[in-house]
Each structure stands twice: as structure tokens, then as C-alpha cells.
A and B are shown apart, each in its own frame.
Chain A
């Protein structure tokens, strides 16, 4: 039985396939990729458990150890009855947004005589750690799935161009450690409840030209270690709330053409170890409070000529300000 030792399977461009069901148990499969299945409507992850003449046979998981699933360009696909509970990492690209409805996950089977057409499940899959969403529509269903997955640790949201704000369902993700928001062109601000993501350690917000500040609740992000910002085209000044991020160790500002000033309150970032400034042409000087940052070990400045002129070692007029930093690189 060849499927028993399979650890990775990729199925691509099955134009005529509509249903995947009645599968054997893939006892070793750890990774499954479904690419460009234009007509695939259903993927059944359990073996026969259907009723025939009133007799129900035992339903078995087809993928008992599956930990990684990638679904790309399957606009009609729905997973039934739910994703395998062993799943650690999930990636959806340009696919059916129904995949993100709470139906997709379930731990306990519901009793057979309970019927409801709207799947409203309380418990969530116990171990989903990573979710990547690329080019997924967001506005209508608001990604209710996320509400129940409080164990999620890494969330990537990329190229979701119809998203104007982050869906509320993300609010509950209290275990979230890393949040990537990339290329969401219509995203106009970060949500007020951002501070509720108490475990957040790394926040990366790239290519979101409409965003220019952080919400006030950000001061509650006491675990935040790394903040990296890129292409915030409208931002003129780093938001004040940054002074409360006292656990921040890495701050990276890249391609912010409107940024002219770094506030003095940056001196409050007592844990800051590395400060990176790349391609911020309008930034001409660094705040004096930089001298108070005793933990600062690395300062990297690139393609910012105003700063380069001023702080170049020995040459620039103000290089005293940064002379206490062990590793200064300016190019």
C-alpha cells in the first residue's frame, strides 16, 4: 500500500477533479499541497463515516499526522468536515474564503442527531501555530476562523488588497507572537485593540502606504521585541506611543520618505539594542536622547544622506552623539 509511507504529497492542476473523498489513511503524510485545482470543491479529511441505511461506520482521520497544508489557487475548495487536528501550519493563497470560516476546524465530533446548517463550533484545533494568508478576500466573512484559534503564534497577511482594516477576529489571538502585514494596500490603520495581543513579540508592517501611526493601545504590548516598518509613505513622525514600548530591542524603519523627525521620547526605549534606518531621505537628524540608550549596540544607517553626512565617524559634525555605540555602520 503505497500511501502508507508518503510524507509529502503535491497535487497540481487536476482540472476535472471535483471531489476528494473516501481516501485511505495516509499514515505518514506530514505535508500536503493542493495547487491550481480550479474545479475542486471538496476535500474530505475523514474516511467513510456516512450513513447508509441507518448504520454509521467509524470515521477515521485520513491524515493523522498532517502538520502542513498549502492551498493555492483553489477558488472553490472547501475542506470537510474539518482540517485534521494535527495541523501546525496552514497557508492559503488566492483561494476560497470559506476555508477561513469556523466550520473548517473542529475537535469534537458533534452527536449525530444534532443538526444545524450553520456550523458554530466552540472548541478549536489545539495546535495550529502558523497561518499564512496571501491574496485572500477578507471583507465579507471577516475570517471568523481566527476567533477560535487562540493558540496561533504566527500570522502572515499578505496582498489582501480588499482589506481596509484588520478583522476583529484577530483580537482574540492572545498567543500571537509574530504578526506580518505585507502589501495590504488598502489597510488604512492598525486597529484600536492592537494592545490586546499581549504576547506579540514581533510586529512587521510592510508596504502599507495608508498607515501612518500606531494606536494608543500599543503601549500595552509589553512583550514586543522587534518592530519593523517599511513603506509607511504618509508617516511624518514616529508616533509618541512608541515611548511605552520599553521591551523593544530592535527597531527598523525603512523606505519612509515622509519621515522627518524621530521624537525625543525614543530615549525611553531602554532595552533598544539595534536601530536601523534605511532609505529615509527626509530624516536629517537623530534625537539627543539617543545618548541615554545604554543598551544600544548597533546603529545601521543606509541610503539616508542627511544622516550620513552628520554622523559619519570622525567626520560628521554630530558624530559625538553616536560615538558611544559599539557598532555603527553608515553607508
Chain B
């Protein structure tokens, strides 16, 4: 289906929505003439290849949703400070999208949803928008890292990184995002300038589901303690040491892992827990009775093999 050029004559048009229009490929340039347009939604239009550049002239545009358009590869819009009313940009599920425009001025942007796209890096303009409150990046499997400036987004409440499998570290200074209530995923880094897990210390509004990955790089248990997972309102926690470990890695740092996992005690309301790749010889202290853990190493084991005793 295509739209005629005469669509530009509809001067009063405020909302234009196309959902599940399977053969829509593009919009006519005259769409830029609909100066009253506030909401443009193109959802699940699988063949949508491009958005006309005249969309950049829509001064009153507040909501731009392009969800699930798997053929969209680039977002080419002319931006000259025109989209001053834009508040929400949702590109969820545009799995062909790799590049975002290099410049974009939308000073009032509150929500940017790039989940399930193939974005590899966040452009600079994203972190210059201080009104940004929600940044959804779930399952951005090609995302390599987060730009350093992200810690300047003081209003950020949601930074959802669940499923960003290539993300290996977080930028240091994460502690500054005090309004964060949904982090989703934290990857422990090995580099010097990466965020330490201790930066989670004062981010006490974090709630919901949380993953912590790359724990094999966490060597210092005191840092893990500072993360204070106990205080957060998390009800589902995934702790993962590493997806693949070499033979040497499997038997090294055994003691450290134990202390680290002891320090990463989950909060008391936790409902779902998953731990993967832990290398310690015994379970953490918050899972066992204190007096037993000391015995575990000694007497108990000898008697363990004679089952009749233990009833």
C-alpha cells in the first residue's frame, strides 16, 4: 500500500498511524507539509525501508514510533534543531537498524527505545539530552559499549541493558545516576576505566530484574560488599561468572569466588535466583547454616558416605 502525495494537503492532521501494513515501503515527501502532525506511528510494517527526510521538518512532532519494521536500516532525517517537541522515539524491534543519525537535536526527548535493534554504539547526541528519562536497550545484541558521557544523564530512571550480550563493561561514574530504578544488567569490567560493582552502592532505587555478568573479573570481595544488593528491591537476580571458561580459569580464584558470592547476598524479598559458573567449593554463607559451614569441611564429609546416620 502506498500513500498519495495529496496527503500533504491534510493540514489539520495530528495523528498518523500505520500498523501491520505489510507492504508499505515508504511515505511521500509531502508528509512534511502536515505541520500539525504530533504523532507518527509506523508499527510492524515489515517492508518499510526508509522514512522521508521531510519528517525532520515536523516541528510539532511529539511521538515517533517505528516499531518492528525489520527492513528499516537507517534513520535518515534532516535535523536542524527542528524537532523541538519530540518526546518519545521508539524503535523497538527494528532489527535491521544498525546506525542512528550522527546529529539530532531534540532537546525535550524523554524516552528512547532502541531495544531489539542492531545498534552497535550510541551516538553522542543521545547523551547530550539531559531530559532523557528512559533508555531502553534490551537485547541489543550488537551493542559494544556505552559512551562515557552517559553518566551525565542525571534524570535517567531506566537504563535497561538485559540481553546485551556483547557489552563487557560499564562506564565508571555510574554512581551518579541516582534516579536509576531499572538497570537490568551490569557487566563487571576488567579495564581500569570501567565501573566497579561498588558503584551500585547508592543506587538503591534499583528494582525488578537484575543480571550481573562477567563476575570472573571481580577479584575483590570488598567491592562486592559495597554493591549492597541487599538493599535493592530486586525480586529476580541472575549472577553469571562467565559464559565460557578455560580449564585454568575453572580452578583458579576458587577462594575469591566464595567470598565474592558471600558478599553478593540478594535482598530478602528475592523470588527468582540463578547462579551460573560459580567456582567456589561450597555454597555461599547466606544459603547455609552458619555452624554447619565450618563443619562441612571436616566431620560431615566423612560421615556423608554412611547414609544411615542422617535421618
Which residues of A are interface residues toward B (Cβ below 8 A)? 1-24, 28, 42, 44, 46-52, 59, 80-81, 103, 109-110, 112, 114-117, 119
Among the stretches B161-169, B195-203, B206-214, B299-307, the one at the interface with A is: B299-307
Contact A22 B295 (CB under 8 A): yes
Nearest opposing residue in chain A for B229, CB measure: A2
Q: How far is the CA of A80 from the CA of B301 in the complex (A)?
A: 13
A51 to B266 alpha-carbon distance, docked (Å): 32
B293 touches A22 (CB 8 A): yes
B254: chain A residues at CB < 8 Å are 16
Known: A2-B230, A16-B251, A22-B292. A46 touches B310 (CB 8 A): yes
Q: Which residue of B lies closest to A110 (CB)?
A: B311
B308 and A110 contacting across the interface, CB-CB below 8 Å:
yes
Q: How far is the CA of A9 from the CA of B287 in the complex (A)?
A: 12
Known contacts A21-B304, A81-B311; decide if A12 and B276 are in contact (CB<8 Å).
yes
- Whether the pair A80, B307 counts as a contact (CB closer than 8 A) is yes
Q: Is B282 an interface residue (CB 8 A)?
A: yes
User: Are A8 and B310 in touch, CB under 8 angstroms?
Assistant: no
Residues of the A chain whose Cβ atoms lie less than 8 Å from the Cβ of B181: none
Report how far A10 CA is from B271 CA in the complex, Å.
12
- From residue B56, how far is it (CB to closest CB) to chain A in Å? 48
Return chain B residues, CB-CB under 8 Å to A22: 288-289, 292-293, 295-296, 300
**Given A22-B300, A24-B287, A24-B288, A49–B276 Cβ distance below 8 Å?**
no
Give the shortest distance, in Å, between B231 (CB) and chain A (any CB): 12
Residues of A within 8 A of B104 (CB): none
A119–B307 CB distance below 8 A: yes
With A21-B296, A44-B310, A50-B303 as given contacts, are A2 and B268 in contact (CB-CB < 8 Å)? yes
Known pairs A13-B277, A14-B277, A117-B308 / 10 extra A-B pairs, C-beta < 8 Å: A3-B287, A5-B268, A7-B271, A9-B272, A10-B276, A14-B275, A14-B278, A22-B289, A24-B289, A103-B307
The listed residue with most A CB atoms (<10 A of its CB), out of B265, B272, B310, is B310
CB of B270 within 8 A of CB of A8, answer no
Q: Give the residues in chain A near B287, CB-CB below 8 Å.
A: 3, 23-24
Instruction: Give the most central of B250, B275, B308: most A CB within 10 Å.
Output: B308
B300 to A21, Cβ gap below 8 A? yes
CB < 8 Å: which of B245, B276, B300 contacts A50? B300
Q: Known interface pairs A24-B287, A44-B310. Does A6 touch B272 (Cβ–Cβ under 8 Å)? A: yes
B280 adjacent to chain A (CB < 8 Å) = yes
A4 to B287, CA, bound (A): 10
| Whole-angstrom CA separation of A1 from B267 in the bound complex | 8
CB neighbours (8 Å) of B310 from chain A are 44, 46, 49-50, 59, 80-81
CA distance A46 to B282 in the complex (A): 17
| Contact in complex: B283, A17 (CB < 8 Å) | yes
Q: B92 an interface residue at 8 Å Cβ cutoff?
A: no
Whole-angstrom distance between the Cβ of A118 and the nearest chain B Cβ: 10
- CB-nearest residue of chain B to A25: B289
Nearest CB of chain A from residue B267's CB, rounded to whole Å: 6
A4 touches B268 (CB 8 A): yes
Chain A residues with Cβ under 8 A from B308's Cβ?
110, 114-117
Cα separation A82 to B137 with both chains bound (whole Å): 45
> Top 7 A-B pairs ranked by shortest CB distance?
A22-B292, A109-B311, A10-B274, A12-B276, A2-B266, A22-B288, A115-B308
The residue on A at minimum CB distance from B270 is A2
Residue B281, interface by CB 8 Å: yes
Interchain nearest-CB distance for A204 vs B (Å): 32
Q: Tell which of B267, B272, B291 has the most Cβ of chain A within 10 Å.
A: B272
Q: What is the CA–CA distance of A24 and B268 in the complex, to the nearest angstrom?
A: 14
User: Which residue on chain A has the smallest CB distance to residue B293?
Assistant: A22
List residues of chain B with CB within 8 A of the CB of A2. Answer: 230, 265-268, 270, 286
Contact of B269 with A by CB under 8 A: yes
What separation, in Å, do the CA atoms of A103 and B254 have in the docked complex?
Answer: 33
In Å, the complex CA distance between A14 and B281 comes to: 8
CB distance from A24 to the nearest CB of B (A): 6
- A1, A12, A117 interface centre (most CB from chain B within 10 Å): A12
Residue numbers in B under 8 Å from A8 (CB-CB): 271-273
Q: A2-B267, A16-B254 are in contact. Are A9 and B301 (CB under 8 A)?
A: no
- The answer for the CA separation of A13 and B257 in the assembled complex, in Å, is 14
Given contacts A2-B230, A81-B307, A112-B311, contact A16 B270 (CB under 8 A): no
Chain A residues in 8 Å Cβ range of B288: 21-24
> How distant is B206 from chain A, measured CB to nearest CB, in Å?
16
**B270 surroundings in chain A (CB, below 8 A):** 2, 5-6
CA distance A17 to B258 in the complex (A): 11
Contacts of A44 in B (CB 8 A): 304, 310
Do the beta carbons of A47 and B289 come within 8 Å of each other? yes
A270 to B244, CA, bound (A): 58
Closest partner residue, chain B, to A51 (CB atom):
B309
Which B residues lie within 8 Å of A18 (CB)?
A: 281
Inter-subunit contact B311/A17 (CB<8 Å): no
Cβ of A6 to closest chain B Cβ, rounded Å: 6
Give the CA-CA distance A132 to B176 in the complex, in Å: 50
Q: Which residue of B lies closest to A81 (CB)?
A: B310
B311–A59 CB distance below 8 A: yes
Given contacts A21-B296, A81-B307, contact A1 B268 (CB under 8 A): yes
Query: What are 30 A-B contacts defined by CB distance under 8 Å?
Result: A2-B266, A2-B270, A3-B287, A4-B268, A6-B271, A11-B276, A13-B276, A13-B278, A14-B277, A17-B278, A17-B283, A21-B300, A22-B288, A22-B293, A22-B295, A23-B283, A24-B286, A24-B287, A24-B289, A44-B304, A46-B311, A48-B289, A48-B295, A49-B310, A51-B303, A80-B307, A80-B310, A81-B307, A81-B310, A116-B308
Q: Please indicate the chain A residues that have their CB under 8 angstroms from the CB of B275 in the complex.
A: 10-12, 14
